[in-house]
Amino acid sequence: MGNNESLNPSPIKHNSDSTEQTVIESIVRTQLTEKLGIEFITGIIELEGISFQVDFYDETKFVYGEIFARVGELKSGQKRKICMDILKLLTIEKLLGKPIKKYIVFTDKKIEEKFKSKTWYSKSILCFDLQIICINLTQEQQDLLKEVRKRQYR
């Protein structure tokens, strides 16, 4: 895998546990570093007294992004989550007072295509100059995300 992180889930997980998705996000972040040539960090940034949890960023290069680690069909709540991530990035840009490079990163080509189709949210992505990237996962990583989806399905 390249990282020292295990994909093996522990035997007992709460239905809402997202540990595996966090591991996948770390793997995706590493691939983004290689692809874009930027050493990203993850964490909380503070702007005007407001905290923003950001999946990856580099403050010196003004690059900020969110990762959506999922495979398969999206439910409406998941589409809303991605739209909220877009709004978060737009708010960060506004509060910084300068243009930033904004990325939404998917791990499923079908989800990426959905956000590039003729929808209002894909139009927003174009209007506000967000970049979409899809990072390919190994079959093992995809299978893990499918198992997480089954467990979290409500």
- Per the structure, how many domains does the chain have? 1
Q: Over its length of 154 residues, how does the chain's per-residue pLDDT go in tens digits?
A: 444 445 555 554 444 446 777 888 999 999 999 999 999 999 999 999 999 999 999 999 999 999 998 888 888 888 899 999 999 999 999 999 999 999 999 999 999 998 888 889 889 999 999 999 999 888 888 888 878 777 665 4
Domain annotation covers residue 4: no
Range of the domain at 102: 19-152
Q: Which residues, 6+ apart, have CB-to-CB distance to 66 below 8 Å? A: 54, 55, 56, 82, 85, 86, 88, 89, 103, 104, 105
CATH of the domain at 26: 3.40.1350
At 49 the pLDDT is: 97
pTM: 0.82
